[in-house]
Structure 1
Amino acid sequence: MKTAITLFILFQSVFAFSQMSEITKILNRELENEIKYPMENDGFLNGQIITIVKGFSIDNGVLSLTVKKSLDNGYVIETHKCRLDSIDMISIIDNKIVLEPGDYDFSQNNPIIYEYHYNDGRTRKESTNKFDFDTHIHFPNKKYVGYELKKAFKKAGKNVALLFHTTLDDTFEDMAAYINTRKAALAEAKAGQ
């Protein structure tokens, strides 16, 4: 009996790991396409050259990504991190894919570390915390990626909400409609749909 339970737990662990690998596989595929074929005039690159230093990976339950962006006077290496257990929603905002916690919990520790390297040899390091995780994926018509990610998260044992919306105006009506839509999407995900 103990052997059967051990084998079941081992199988579940291997299955969950393979689904986590599927999440990073989807994100890396889309990020590589974004960098290879950037949208013209989308404001994302703004003339920057972006290279992947370390693609999406999951270590000890933390999703991370490291990219290098050119600057006028050097370059910056950005490392983004996010605890997977904090992700409750995949937001497709205009042309951008963002992973978010369900509530606006600004205590989430999702650091971004910036390492600036200037042409004159100076370096500077700074960091900030964000409550969401910007994937750097900015293609139009990315709905299919949202559905793929939702499915991969579900197979890994986590129901996440999927929300499509545009950049919000700062009007009360626009924000109120968005908050209501967001609450409904989270409730649907919690119900396991």
Structure 2
Amino acid sequence: MINKKLFFIAFLLQWLYAPSQVQKIVKILNRELQKEVKAQQKDSSNYYGERFEVIKQYSIKDTNDQNINILALEIKKKDTYSNTHYTIQQEIDLSKIKAIVKDINIIFRTDSDASKVTEVDENGKESISTGDMYFLNLSYEKKNEKLAYELIQAFKKAGYSIKKEYWYD
């Protein structure tokens, strides 16, 4: 009987605590995104990643289902070949993220077709694609494997299990 009560209390605490932990994930990602944007501006000669402008920082998109947490980011990039700009909106259900990896850019590896990317060009033409990678647009900082472990812990506290796979600068 006591075990059932303890289990119920633990479940209740997790249920109440998890939403704040989801916001912790968002906070970590936005902190790193701000560092990336500063690096583009202040260390442009050593910045080798794709340049972008943040339109809407990382956030959890409102859904009708409280059990679904959609991570969203909207950025603007320049196509250097056509000298035009386009916006990219990325979305992923946090429960579909399986791993964090780094191969120049930090990426969430996801279930097949779980990551949704919507590109809109200057003329309003929209292109939607899905895949198994959610690019975090973080490439400047090196030797930052601690970030992977910080995110893994935040995901765990929010009730999600992800792992770290390869990590190459």
TM-score, normalising length: structure 2: 0.78
Question: Which of 105, 109, 121 lines up with 1:96 in the alignment?
Answer: 105
Between the aligned partners of 2:105 and 2:78, the Cα distance in structure 1 is 20
- Report the RMSD for the aligned CA atoms in angstroms: 2.5
Tell me the residue number matched to 2:21: 19
Question: Alignment length, in residue pairs?
Answer: 152
Identity among equivalent positions (%) equals 25
Gaps of 5+ in 1: 168-193
Matched, 1:62 2:70: yes
Between the aligned partners of 2:97 and 2:115, the Cα distance in structure 1 is 11
Between the aligned partners of 2:135 and 2:154, the Cα distance in structure 1 is 18
**8 Å contact kept, 2:79–2:85:** yes
Matched, 1:28 2:30: yes
Between the aligned partners of 1:110 and 1:159, the Cα distance in structure 2 is 17
TM-score, normalising length: structure 1: 0.69
| 1:144–1:130 Cα change, 3 Å | same
The secondary structure found in structure 1 opposite 2:155 is: helix
Residue identity matched to 1:25: K
Between the aligned partners of 2:12 and 2:85, the Cα distance in structure 1 is 44
| 1:165–1:123 Cα change, 3 Å | same
Comparing 123-132 with 10-19, which one deviates more in the overlay? 10-19
**8 Å contact kept, 2:24–2:154:** yes
Matched, 1:80 2:82: no
Tell me the residue number matched to 1:181: none
Cα deviation, residue 35, structure 1: 1.2
Between the aligned partners of 1:10 and 1:58, the Cα distance in structure 2 is 22
Question: Which of 114, 120, 138 lines up with 2:119 in the alignment?
Answer: 114
